[in-house]
Amino acid sequence: MSRQIIATDQAPAAIGPYSQAVRHGGTVYFSGQIPLDPATGHLVEGDIAMQTRRVFDNLVAVAQAAGGSLAQFVRVGIYVTDLANFAAVNAVMAEYFQAPYPARSTIEVSALPKGAQVEVDAIMVLD
């Protein structure tokens, strides 16, 4: 089975040697998304909630390009620079997902690319 590279201009272009997502069979592996505006390539301004919404909007765009939606996500990895933002990130995630929720990890990291406060990667299984 070969792999298919997923790319869309509705989400930020990769800022390194990687793809927005890769599909192998019915599984799509998403690279981490930070809160970049796809139109400008710049980090969105604002608090953690605004940055998290931009990240999930970017993931929605890549999921659609792969022929799926957030409802098909089976795992989400969230990386934040301050775990004090855990509740705010949870609240935004609840705007985008409905039960049954995907599996998830949330990890505090010392820094993220371009000074982002949050990054999210994911795995989606297409039905």
Handedness of CA 11, 13, 14, 17 (dihedral sign): positive
CATH of the domain at 88: 3.30.1330.40
Please name the residue that has the structure tokens 């997923």.
6
Domain hosting residue 66, numbered range: 3-125
Q: What is the pLDDT of residues 10-54, one digit of tens each?
A: 999 998 999 999 999 999 999 999 999 999 999 999 999 999 999
The whole-angstrom separation of Cα 18 and Cα 115 is 19
Q: What is the pLDDT of residues 56-115, one digit of tens each?
A: 999 999 999 999 999 999 999 999 999 999 999 999 999 999 999 999 999 999 999 999
For the chain, what is the domain count?
1
pLDDT attached to residue 127? 80
- This prediction's pTM: 0.96
Q: Are 39 and 72 in contact (CB under 8 A)?
A: no
Residue 123, both tokens? 């795995």
3-state secondary structure of 30: strand
